[in-house]
Amino acid sequence: MKQQGIDITRASGGDEAAVNKQVEVQSKLFQILREEKDSAVAEKRIREMLGSLPGAEQQAHAAVSPTVRELIAYDPATVLRNLACPVLAMDGTLDLQVSAKQNLPAIAAALAESKSGNWEVVDLPGLNHLFQTAKTGNVPEYSTIEETISPLALRTIGDWLQRIAARP
């Protein structure tokens, strides 16, 4: 999530000062969420920390949601290490929400320890979070792309399924 904030800030034209501010705010937010189990108290502390930033109230409220708390606490490596089925993990190189550079090596490392002897990790050049062919990968770009899903992503999935089906 920290990398997501950095990548989106940069893609939105933010300079290093904006990136540093993003990292600082997000680090404080995560610290509050780790320290404070009471959501009402955490929301109040986050609102105070965000101060007069635009959307502070909405951000504070969203941050204490069970979904966000679960995302922060969730360790996908634990699940991946316990898989015994075939796995295809794909990510676009322009995915700003889930960094391929950061996540695919971690996924591969966890799968290497798994019971699955049949896994593949693929980075798809030029694709965004929705597996669309993109220029920037920035979230607002999603709705400007007519392509629903890239032929490259579909071909990668189809080829992988054929290889899986061909195995005894």
- The reported pLDDT for the residue numbered 73 is 83
Helix/strand/coil for 47: helix
Q: What is the mean pLDDT of each run of 10 residues along the chain (168 residues)?
A: 81 83 84 90 91 84 90 91 97 95 96 95 98 94 96 98 90
Helix/strand/coil for 133: strand
CA distance 150 to 159: 14
C-alpha dihedral over 103, 109, 112, 118, to 10 degrees? 10
In terms of Cα–Cα distance, which of 150, 146, 144, 139 is closest to 11?
Answer: 139
Pair of tokens at residue 134? 């993109």
Burial class (CB in 10 A: 0-12, 13-18, 19+), 70: exposed
- The reported pLDDT for the residue numbered 111 is 98
- The reported pLDDT for the residue numbered 8 is 80
**Residue tagged 């966000």 (tokens):** 68
Amino acid at 69: R
- The reported pLDDT for the residue numbered 156 is 98
Contacts of 33 (CB under 8 A, 6+ apart): 42, 46, 63, 64, 68, 69, 72
User: Could you state, in order of their start, the residue ranges of all structural domains in the chain?
Assistant: 2-73, 76-166
pTM over 0.75: yes
